[in-house]
Structure 1
Amino acid sequence: MNAGSKAVNDATEIFEKMGYESLLSKVNIKNIYLRTLFFSVQVMIRILFLPKNTKVVSNFPPIFFFERVCLYFLKKRSKSLKVFILIHDIYELRIGKNNSTPYRNLLNFKNSNFYFIAHNDKMVSWLVKEGYKKNNIIDLEIFDYLSVIKEDAGGTYGKSVIIAGNLAPEKSSYLMELFKISEIDFNLYGPNVSSDVEKSKNVIYHGSFPADEIPNIIQGSYGLIWDSETTIGGTGKYGNYQRYNNPHKTSLYLAAGFPIIMWEKAALASFIMEHNLGFLVNTLEEIPSKIAKIKEVDYNRMRENVEKFGNKIRMGYFLTEALEKAEEISNE
């Protein structure tokens, strides 16, 4: 289960549905170095010869070398092209401005004429504070999660909580403390789970599954969004990053039909509350008492809202809307 590649793949599929074509040609070059060289030269030549005002869209940050080449030449031509950048991750926010991957730093493109699609209004505010042009930034609101789900998929009224994603101790160390919340059953899905976590009586590990299949596999009442090191929200670099980013698993849970449990100071918290898509906590220890207060009629109302937004997320609505808005702004 790799949320990162799923997000990029979904975005690329949406770009293509909107009429964008890849700058790369399919080639059968098995040698990775020769293939990288071929793609790098190809994107360079194609970008240099694109007609004025051509619209180009790209995912960010770059993963492969040829993607770095692509962004370099897009920046060189940013005054003559209309370049739209979908931000998936901001290293300066997650790791720090003095990180070891400067070629993936978004701030390198601050003085370009790019149009940026940011996760949410909190990320928009950070970009503006860093010197980006406010008129060149579009609020995505939430990521899409292209999928087809079964009719009987989705949450059921109760007190079981889903945790899906990378379960490695260095990413999800709070899992070691789940045994303290004995009133709640936790259903875990994903790679790298610690055997010590599995020993907890209230934890059931179900395995790791492909990102396209997981929406129809997960079971429970709520989906938990928690990147803190401990049961207290916002701790550690990943926990603090929730103040700015949209965790892709939020879109997974909503697409699959599950209300959300989230840290109350997360960037997406206001979105969840505004649309009644779940509830917020400051610590995981608050979950039992919060769930106990939710009547079945209240849960069903949340489920109806989740289904409405889940339909949009599964169809690619949010990125389509954001990119169309970016295109309109570029024409002004």
Structure 2
Amino acid sequence: MKKYYINALQKENMNAGSKAVNDATEIFEKMGYESLLSKVNIKNIYLRTLFFSVQVMIRILFLPKNTKVVSNFPPIFFFERICLYFLKKRSKSLKVFILIHDIYELRIGKNNSTPYRNLLNFKNSNFYFIAHNDKMVSWLVKEGYKKNNIIDLEIFDYLSVIKEDAGGTYGKSVIIAGNLAPEKSSYLMELFKISEIDFNLYGPNVSSDVEKSKNVIYHGSFPADEIPNIIQGSYGLIWDSETTIGGTGKYGNYQRYNNPHKTSLYLAAGFPIIMWEKAALASFIMEHNLGFLVNTLEEIPSKIAKIKEVDYNRMRENVEKFGNKIRMGYFLTEALEKAEEISNE
């Protein structure tokens, strides 16, 4: 029986969506899933949306019983909302797997402005959910989801090919990659206080005030597929807090539940991680010796000073081991295979 994935992005336009969604689509295809949507060349966005919406509705309604369908979540396009609606209607006769990328209720709040993107709308479905980590699994169970229908992803993949000389070097320079906008990364304004550390910044929307800091070097913004071979330094920083104190603000608190995709970027590129000690991924980082944890950014200099070169090289070996898996799509493949097994029980 055929298996299907749902994604509006087509191979010729793979740079149009997020790296995480595009990678997931590639992994779906490697696992034998086919696109539920026909390839079209309709330039008018309204006509294209109408075409996809009607097509996906008809196709879902006539899928044979026990057909496997996988979809990314939350829905971005209107036709994806239509798709999820009809998948929910048929969730008792189909085997539907949902890869969670973001949970609006956790990041923004249950009373957000886009309720149609709320995961809780599908609590009473028979979907199988692939959650970021064990902390997110626990939250879903607490909210009333069936524990047996939830699979722990552990960490996102980051499909890429890296150069032989890529990866971290022993030292005290720290990489910050991603959206550098003040509203997303306001803590950047305080990096000047940590003068012992050099920060290498990569990404869009950096503030000119941040660039003025003597210990900050801004290298520019690069495509997601190229950045693993461009970033340089010793460690990759995962920090979504508003300040240098971990966990502040809505994005900082969200780290208690989510897997920041840049964690996978750093590991795929060969860099040990610096992360907030109460982040959901903190236990994963420590269990596998992939970096170190801090409560505040001010702790970084003293923590780095205690790491000997032999200790750093041991971290790098572990990072390389997991980086290989992340670059090959190991974690989503394992999670989706497990979801398929559970659905067959």
TM-score where L is the length of structure 1: 0.99
Q: Deviations over 1:37-76 (max 9, x none)?
A: 0000000000000000000000000010011111110000
Query: Where does residue 214 of structure 2 map in the other structure?
Result: 201
How far off is 1:311 after superposition? 0.1
For residues 3 and 132 of structure 1, what CA distance do their matches in structure 2 show? Answer: 33
When normalised by structure 2's length, the TM-score is 0.95
Question: CA separation in 1, counterparts of 2:151 and 2:267?
Answer: 22
* Residue 4 (structure 1) shift: 7.1
- For the 8 Å contact 1:61–1:90, the answer to whether it is kept is yes
What is the Cα deviation at residue 34 of structure 1? 0.5
Distance 1:305 1:30 in 2: 47
Q: Which residue in the other structure is 1:240 paired with?
A: 253
CA contact (8 A) 1:167 1:193 kept: yes
Q: SS at the partner of 1:21?
A: strand
1:108 is aligned to 2:121: yes
Distance apart, 1:30 and its partner CA:
1.2
CA distance in 2, matches of 1:249, 1:143: 9
Match of 2:151, SS? Answer: strand
Indicate if the aligned counterparts of 1:3 and 1:211 stay in contact, CA closer than 8 A.
no
Identity over aligned pairs, percent: 100
Count of matched residue positions in the alignment of Structure 1 and Structure 2:
332
The match for 1:73 is 86
Tell me the distance in 2 between the aligned counterparts of 1:201 and 1:58. Answer: 45
Matched residue of 2:33: which SS?
Answer: coil
Root-mean-square deviation (Å): 1.2
Q: 1:237 to 1:271 in 2, by over 3 A?
A: same
| Cα distance change on mapping 1:2 and 1:158 into 2, 3 Å | farther
Distance 1:39 1:3, change over 3 A: closer
| More contact order relative to length (CA 8 Å, sep ≥ 6) | 1
Question: How much does 1:101 deviate?
Answer: 0.4
Q: 1:141 matched to which residue of 2?
A: 154
Cross-structure match for 1:321: 334
How far is 1:25 from its partner? 0.7
The C-alpha deviation readout for 1:258-292, integer Å capped at 9, x for no partner, is 00000000000000000000000000000000000
4+ residue stretches of structure 1 with deviation over 2 A? 1-4
Question: Cα offset for 1:3?
Answer: 11
Contact 1:3 1:249 in 2 (8 A): no
- Residues 213-258 of structure 1: per-residue CA shift (max 9 Å, x gap): 0000000000000000000000000000000000000000000000
Q: Distance in 1 between matches of 2:245 and 2:70?
A: 38
**What is the distance in 1 between the residues matched to 2:43 and 2:266?**
38
Alignment partner of 1:56: what SS? strand
Tell me how far apart the structure 2 counterparts of residues 28 and 3 of structure 1 sit (CA, whole Å).
15
Mark the runs of 5 or more structure 2 residues left unpaired by the alignment.
Answer: 1-13
1:2 offset after TM fit, Å? 9.2
Q: Contact conserved, 1:225 with 1:260, CA < 8 A, in 2?
A: yes
Q: Say yes or no: does 1:281 pair with 2:265.
A: no
